[in-house]
Amino acid sequence: MSAFVRTARIIFSVAVCCSAAFTDMHPSRSSPVAEPQGISASELQGTFERISVTPPLQRLALLAPELPGSGKSPAQLAEPFNMPAKAALPEEIASKWSDLQSRVVADEKTIAACRANEASCSPAARRFLSLVESGGKNERRIQLGKINRAVNLAIRPASDWAQYGTADFWASPLQTLASGAGDCEDYAIVKYVVLRALGMAETDLRLMIVRDDKHQTEHAIVAVRDEQEWLILDNRTMFIVDAEDARYYNPLFVLEQKMPRTFAAADVSLITDR
């Protein structure tokens, strides 16, 4: 099977499978991670303060050299998951990422105008700013928990076929919030841009396409670095998961502004002829 076909299968699998695998895990359904809609702000904060995260990652790949004067070891500056990354994305995914980036820039201009003049706000821009405000000024892990929960509840699962009439479309945050629906990469994109709007450093954020070995599908998540640990924001759960505990996820592509990359795991062995 050609590299082009393998890449196309990954893209198609993400489009079709990520929302399907999520259906029985959506917070609106009965689930051990779903929380009561009427929970108070103080109760919610207490919940996230009690969520524990395992000790620092031991399996991180040494993908980044030590920064001069940083006082941090190479392991502390590594990427999530124990996988080496190649230098560039496949052309098809690079093109989708570039197109999305241009629409995100347009969204950010719309959101900036909304901040400046509330009368000019679209409903989607108001929803976006509400998500940003939901993070508050809390300690990072509590903030991440609130953002993850708020976005999971703001979007209902829907396929790209149903919304856009195509197998795979990466919607911008305002497109997703305007419809109130999306598949796994749409949840991840909204979280990624909300966290950027909160001032989180690009070096601490990763939008990732992974292979989910547990459900045998491709899936989209956001990885966030906190005190040299990588934490996962996922539309399948309200809880923040340490990357060390998400061993069923194998990274395929990491999408970030400066250096999007392909992981070594994104090869033929992961995508079969079926």
Q: Express each pLDDT in 145-195 by its tens digit.
A: 999 999 999 999 999 999 999 988 999 999 999 999 999 999 999 999 999
Q: Give CA separation, 254 vs 3, 33, 47, in Å.
A: 18, 27, 30
Q: Give CA separation, 176 vs 107, 127, 141, 154, 235, in Å.
A: 11, 10, 25, 10, 14
Is the whole model's pTM more than 0.75, yes or no? Answer: no
CATH of domain 3-54+79-270: 3.10.620.30
**Beta strands of 192-248 (E only): which ranges?**
205-212, 217-226, 229-233, 241-242
Among 124-128, 184-188, 263-267, name the one with the lowest average pLDDT.
263-267
Q: Write down the mean pLDDT value for the chain.
A: 76
Alpha helices in the chain (DSSP H): 3-22, 41-50, 91-116, 123-134, 140-154, 160-164, 173-179, 184-197
Residue 203 confidence class, pLDDT cut points 50, 70, 90: confident
How far apart CA 23 and CA 16 sit, in angstroms, is 12
Query: How many Cβ atoms are within 10 Å of 169's Cβ, its own excluded?
Result: 20
Name the nearest CA neighbour of 171 among 103, 114, 125, 113. Answer: 103
At residue 199, what is the residue type?
A: G
Residue 18 confidence class, pLDDT cut points 50, 70, 90: low
